[in-house]
């Protein structure tokens, strides 16, 4: 059997795959099994921060791999300690818990919020407000946190204690906070799976005000928008406030599985021995790769990310067949006249890989995509949208 037949025979059918088998690549170019090259604007859904087989990242990973690949969290090891230091220094957070995925990073954030609230405000204060149209993961608890019913069906009952607020209606948030004791509000600075929608400023202002008044923790889910993708190190940094907890994954590892839950001053000591853990969390190889990723996300580099973003917005805003463009940095949603799925398929035919988010075409290019490749791919997207 070839790869496609093996996949269809033996892999649980949770994904409808595109008809492409990737076999190789370099940077923002990927090659399929027929030898066809594509410009990749999906980066494994915001994972390959510096594209495929980036040399600096590869060196960091392989150097660690040659020393030791895993030690367990029963021992000290330098890569995760150094990565935690850099994350704290760059964000002002105080402590980090490492895991392996976005859902796990969010699980940890939720556990910390519940424990903090129970200890400070009593066991009745366990509810967490998340946003309608949000996406926080696929475990039973992070599904409950996800404010989209379509993901809930078939898996009920989910974890109790989540309430959903409409990001376009700050008054609703206030009403919920008045009605229930609330432990935390969890948000994405840009809703990714929800259609690449930046959080409205008015909602952020209300959320920050309520958090101060009622000691409600703010949890930024930076799994997709974090690690430089928005043009700042973390997406919340566009809004001028600091959350109490920041969860991240995807681009942090640059292609290897790594989740991190960063804890601010208020919650830095909530987790104690025995309260949480992960066998693979903080894996030295993943952390060595992540350290090289974060260290390259300098202000100068992030300014280039923003400049590339401006270029994309300028080119696509008002282009024929494009209804609107949304997002921040290199996390962009395009509302097209043609169905998004058709645009994705036609772009693929012409050698550009893009994905969808709800009814939109979504672009998540490597942060270091060369300008000539970015220009060529945007030309193709414009061509496809216009036809
Ligand atoms: C904002 C956000 N949170 C959480 C997740 C879940 O991450 P993972 O698939 O690594 O568990 C995702 C994945 O798309 C996401 O976009």
Mean pLDDT in order along the chain per 10 residues (387 residues): 97 97 98 98 98 98 98 97 98 98 98 98 98 98 97 97 98 98 98 98 98 98 98 98 98 98 98 98 98 98 98 98 98 98 98 98 98 98 96
Architecture of domain 57-296: 3-Layer(aba) Sandwich (3.40)
Predicted TM-score of the model (pTM): 0.98
Q: Which ligand 1 atom is at minimum distance from the Cα of 106?
A: 4
Structure tokens at 208: 């920050």
Residues 233, 91 contacting (CB under 8 angstroms): yes
Question: If you measure from the C-alpha of residue 254 to the centroid of ligand 1, how many angstroms do you get, rounded to a whole number?
Answer: 15
Span 3-54+299-386 CATH architecture: Alpha-Beta Complex (3.90)
Q: Can you give the pLDDT at residue 319?
A: 98
Among 45, 98, 103, 357, the mutation site with the greatest number of ligand 1 atoms within 8 A of its Cβ is: 103
Closest atom of ligand 1 relative to the 250 alpha carbon: 10
Rounded to whole angstroms, the Cα distance separating 152 from 256 reads 28
Placement of tokens 């043009």 in the chain: 231
- Which residue, judged by its Cα, is nearest atom 8 of ligand 1? 102
124-158 per-position pLDDT tens digit: 999 999 999 999 999 999 999 999 999 999 999 99
Q: What share of the chain is helix, strand, coil (3-state, %, to 5)?
A: 40, 20, 40
What is the C-alpha to C-alpha distance for residues 238 and 232, in angstroms, rounded to an integer? Answer: 7
Bridge partner list, 185: 129, 218
Residue for token pair 């949603």: 333
Instruction: Indicate the SS3 state at residue 32.
Output: strand
What is d(CA 365, CA 375) in angstroms, rounded to the nearest whole number?
12
Residue nearest to atom 16 of ligand 1 (CA): 224
CB 41 within 8 A of CB 353: yes
Pick the residue whose CA is nearest to atom 7 on ligand 1. 102
What torsion do the CA atoms of 241, 194, 316, 235 make, to the nearest 10 degrees? 20
Question: DSSP state, 37?
Answer: E
Q: Give me ligand 1 centre to Cα 30, in Å.
A: 23
- Tokens representing 344 are 């994705």
Who lines ligand 1 at CB under 6 A? 101-103, 106, 135-137, 188, 192-193, 221, 223-224, 249
The b-or-e profile of 123-138 (16+ CB within 10 A means b, else e) is eebbbbbbbbbbbbbe
Separation CA 195–CA 249 (nearest Å)? 19
pLDDT, tens digit, 9 for 90 and up, residues 61-79: 999 999 999 999 999 999 9
**Structure confidence at residue 387 (pLDDT):** 87
Compute, in angstroms, the gap from residue 102 CA to the centroid of ligand 1. Answer: 5
Q: Give span(s): CATH 3.40.640.10, the chain.
A: 57-296
Q: Which atom of ligand 1 is nearest to the CA of 257?
A: 10
What is the position in ligand 1's atom list of the atom closest to the CA of 222?
1
Ligand 1 geometric centre to CA of 386 (Å) = 32
Question: Among the atoms of ligand 1, which is closest to the Cα of residue 103?
Answer: 11
CA distances from 83 to 78, 90, 154, 276, 289 (A): 8, 11, 39, 19, 10
> What's the rounded Cα separation, in Å, for the pair 312 and 289?
28
Residues of the chain with CATH 3.90.1150.10: 3-54+299-386
């Amino acid at each position: 059997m070839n790869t496609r037949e093996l996949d269809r025979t033996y892999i649980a059918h949770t994904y409808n795959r595109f008809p492409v088998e990737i076999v190789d690549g370099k940077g923002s170019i990927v090659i399929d099994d027929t030898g066809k090259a594509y410009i990749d604007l999906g980066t494994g859904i915001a994972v390959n921060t510096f594209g495929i087989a980036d040399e600096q990242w590869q060196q960091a990973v392989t150097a660690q791999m040659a020393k030791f690949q895993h030690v367990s969290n029963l021992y000290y090891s330098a890569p995760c300690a150094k990565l935690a230091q850099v994350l704290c220094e760059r964000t002002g957070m105080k402590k980090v818990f490492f895991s392996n995925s976005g859902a796990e990073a969010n699980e940890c954030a939720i556990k910390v919020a519940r424990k903090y609230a129970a200890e400070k405000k009593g066991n009745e204060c366990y509810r967490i407000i998340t946003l309608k149209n949000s996406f926080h993961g696929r475990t039973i608890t992070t599904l409950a946190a996800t404010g989209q019913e379509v993901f809930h069906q078939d898996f009920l009952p989910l974890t109790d204690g989540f309430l959903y607020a409409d990001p376009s209606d700050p008054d609703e948030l206030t009403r919920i906070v008045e009605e229930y004791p609330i432990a935390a509000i969890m948000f994405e600075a840009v809703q990714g799976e929800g259609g690449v929608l930046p959080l409205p400023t008015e909602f952020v202002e209300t959320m920050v005000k309520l958090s101060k008044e009622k000691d409600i923790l703010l949890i930024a889910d930076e799994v997709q928008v974090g690690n430089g993708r928005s043009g700042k190190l973390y997406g919340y940094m566009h809004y001028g406030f600091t959350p109490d907890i920041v969860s991240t994954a995807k681009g942090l590892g640059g292609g290897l599985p790594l989740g991190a839950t960063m804890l601010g001053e208020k919650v830095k000591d909530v987790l104690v021995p025995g309260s949480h853990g992960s066998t693979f969390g903080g894996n030295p190889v993943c952390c060595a790769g992540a350290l090289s990723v974060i260290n390259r996300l300098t202000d100068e580099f992030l300014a280039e990310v923003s400049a590339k973003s401006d270029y994309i917005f300028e080119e696509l805003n008002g282009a024929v067949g494009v209804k609107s463009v949304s997002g921040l940095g290199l996390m962009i949603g395009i509302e097209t006249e043609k169905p998004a799925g058709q645009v994705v398929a036609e772009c693929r035919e012409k050698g550009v890989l893009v994905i969808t988010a709800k009814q939109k075409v979504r672009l998540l290019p490597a942060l270091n995509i060369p300008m000539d490749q970015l220009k060529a791919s945007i030309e193709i997207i414009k061509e496809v949208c216009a036809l």
